[in-house]
Structure 1
Amino acid sequence: MMGPVLAACLLIILSTAWISQANGATCKKDGGVCTCNDQTKNVDCSSKGLTAIPSNIPVETTELRLNFNSLSKLSPTAFQSLTTLRQLYLSNNQLQALPAGVFDQLKNLETLWLSENQLRSLPSKIFDSLTKLTWLSLGYNELQRLPKGVFDKLTSLKELRLNNNQLRRVPEGAFDKLQNIKDLRLEENPWDCSCNDILYLSNWIREKKGTVSNIEAAECDGGTKAVLEITEEEAAEDCVYPNTTTAIPTTIITTLASSNDDDIPELPVPQENFQKFLGYQEPDHLPTQPQCLMSISGYLGLMMSLVLTSAAILYVIHFLKKA
């Protein structure tokens, strides 16, 4: 009776091997591209030339390094299973936007590096789930504006970096909920000190001077004056910025309302905007070369497993017939 028992054991082993192959590999020890430390639960995928996040990152990972790669897009579900993650490094990539909800499952995250990318804007509630976050780096991007209330849930935040962006103003109350902030980098932004929107930031810096580090380095566009020195007389203009919710002047509304359809010129719509209007989206990413190799090896492993499994089944059937 040893024949069937051995065959059954072989079948179980082969099935396990097939499942392992089908799930793919992330860590080098399993044929993947990243370095994994089982003791510290750290996964290091930095400097691998990745254009997509490797699949099957261990769910128990507490630190994930994806910095110094070529990531230009993130899937909204990229980190969905990593609920124990505490540190996430995405700096030095080519990210141009963040999908809404991408960080929603990272409720234990404490450190988030997004510096040195190409971010121009942020979704309004992108950080709302990160209530344990203590460090957020957004420096060296291309941010032109901040959504109102984008930092309101970050009551544990101690360090925030917004330096080296294209910010001209911040919304009223932008930093009011940062009760534990100790260091805030605002330098190297073209702060517009001619508009009265700057008065909130100027007053906030003046109030927190001496208790929050580095805020005094913020200077008006052109470096002519520090933001904290701006007075109401100097910032008297009521400016309107692109991509804000500022009301359209009533004169424009009246003019448009009284115009005939024939008088309205036809404006060309850029193809990329038309695609966005239709809901078209580019694929989140294309597989990297290492991932392609991993997929090929997975298919080969699958085929081999199926052949061996079939052989084992035939062996069992043959043995039972003879018995």
Structure 2
Amino acid sequence: MMGPVLAACLLIILSTAWVSQANGATCKKDGGVCTCNDQTKNVDCSSKGLTAIPINIPADTDRLDLQSNKLSSLPRTAFHGLNKLTYLNLQWNKLQTLPAGVFDELKNLETLRIQQNQLKSLPSGIFDKLTKLTDLRLSSNKLQSLPEGVFDKLTKLTRLDLDYNQLKSLPSGVFDKLTELKDLSLQNNQLQRVPDGAFDYLSNIKTLWLDPNPWDCSCRDILYLSNWIREKKGTVSNIEAAECDGGTKAVLEITEEEAAEDCVYPNTTTAIPTTIITTLASSNDDDIPELPVPQENFQKFLGYQEPDHLPTQPQCLMSISGYLGLMMFFVLISAAILYVIHFLKKA
């Protein structure tokens, strides 16, 4: 009678061992790739060559470091269940897009580092749930524009890095809600101007990096920035370094006579070229020539964008040790079943 009992015990032991391994597959101590510190609640998955978020990150994790991996995309549920996180580091990966809602459960997050990726755009509302965020770093990406109101919910933000991107313009009022902001970095973009009143609500600003950017000092639009720099000179660091395109003159030295032109800066996403508007206004419908427009250009003209969060790799990809454990489990359980059958036949 000891045979069936022994087999049953073996099954229970194997099942418990495999479940334990799967639940802890995140950490090295259980065969995973990351290092976990139970005392500090830190999980370090940096520089592991990861192409997906490891499975079963402990729900009470406070700091999660995923920097210097090969993450090119994230599922929308990548950080679900991690509402204790205060620090998330995704820098030095290959992220090209962020799915809408990917950060929605991180309501206690204070620091978010996404610099050194390949982001070309941000979904509207991507940061809306991060109301406790104080430090947001988006530098060294490929951002060409920002959604309207993208930072409106970040009322506790004290640092915002947008440097080394490809920003050509800023939405009106983009910084209006950031009254606690102390450090703002805009250098090394393609900005020619900022909207009137762009910095008026930054009552706590201490440092603002503006240069290099190709500031257009021939247009009247530069006068707001010039006057603001002149007014804040000596109280806000680094602003005096801003120079006109070509480095011919400092922005703060520009006069109304020099900035005489009423320049028009079209919206870089959906603006209709002024030449088209003039032609349409002065022509009858029958006189308008039919111009062939490639489909992709027409979609861009209308502001159409492909969905930025198509289904990606499953979140719960096991480590190699997890797969081996699963295979071993099934081999052993099959052997145990065959043993039970063989014993019963003999009995």
Return the letter of the residue paired with 1:266: L
Find the residue that maps to 2:230 and give its secondary structure: helix
**Are 2:74 and 1:48 equivalent residues in the alignment?**
no
Q: Any conservation in 2 of the 1:24–1:295 contact (CA below 8 Å)?
A: no
In the other structure, the counterpart of 2:152 is: 128
Tell me the distance in 1 between the aligned counterparts of 2:313 and 2:275.
Answer: 51
Q: 1:28 to 1:200 in 2, by over 3 A?
A: farther
Aligned mates of 2:212, 2:133 — CA distance in 1:
28
Of Structure 1 and Structure 2, the greater helix share is in 1
Would the alpha carbon gap of residues 311 and 128 (structure 1) be closer, same or farther in structure 2, given more than 3 Å must change?
A: farther
- Tell me what 2:215 maps to: 191
Q: 1:249 to 1:89 in 2, by over 3 A?
A: closer
CA distance in 2, matches of 1:186, 1:279: 30
Correspondence 1:271 to 2:296: yes
- Which runs of 5 or more structure 1 residues have no equivalent in the other structure? 313-323
1:174 aligns with 2:202: no
Normalising by structure 1, we get a TM-score of 0.79
Deviations 1:69-106 (A, max 9, x none): 11111111221111111111111111111111111111
Gaps of 5+ in 2: 43-61, 337-347
Contact 1:33 1:48 in 2 (8 A): no
Check conservation: 1:18, 1:305, Cα contact below 8 A.
Answer: no
Q: Give 3-state SS (helix, strand or coil) of 2:197's partner.
A: coil
Code of the residue aligned with 2:128 in structure 1: it is D
State the 1:269 CA deviation. Answer: 3.1
**CA shift at 1:159, angstroms?**
0.1
1:274 Cα deviation after fit: 3.2
Question: In terms of mean alpha carbon deviation, does 148-157 or 57-66 score higher?
Answer: 57-66
Shift of 1:25: 5.6
Counterpart-to-counterpart distance in 1, 2:29 and 2:287: 69
Count of aligned residue pairs for this structure pair:
315
8 Å Cα contact 2:32/2:319 also seen in 1? no
- 8 A contact 2:27–2:35 mirrored in 1: yes
Instruction: Give 1:281's match in structure 2, choosing from 307, 319, 338.
Output: 307
Mapped contact 2:79–2:102 kept (Cα < 8 A): no
Moved more, 260-269 or 78-87: 260-269
User: What RMSD over aligned residues (CA atoms) do the two structures have, in Å?
Assistant: 4.2
> 3-state DSSP class of the match of 2:181?
coil
- Residue 217 of structure 1 deviates from its aligned partner by 0.5
Letter in 2 for 1:281: P
The percent of aligned pairs where both chains have the same amino acid is: 57
Q: For the residues of structure 2 that align with 1:311 and 1:216, how far apart are their CA atoms?
A: 77
Partner residue in 2 for 1:227? 251
Structure 2 residue identity aligned to 1:203:
N
Specify the code of the residue in structure 1 equivalent to 2:199.
F
Out of 187, 190, 207, the residue aligned to residue 163 of structure 1 is: 187
**Is the 1:73–1:285 Cα contact (8 Å) retained in structure 2?**
no
User: SS where residue 318 of structure 2 aligns?
Assistant: helix
- The question of 1:260 aligning with 2:281 is answered no
What CA distance in whole angstroms lies between the structure 1 residues aligned with 2:165 and 2:30?
35
Give how far 1:186 is off.
0.1
Structure 1 pair 103–33 and aligned structure 2 pair: CA distance change class (3 A): farther
Q: In the alignment, which residue of structure 1 is the partner of 2:52?
A: none
With normalisation by structure 2, the TM-score equals 0.74
> For residues 168 and 24 of structure 1, do their structure 2 counterparts lie closer, same or farther at Cα, with a shift above 3 Å needed?
farther
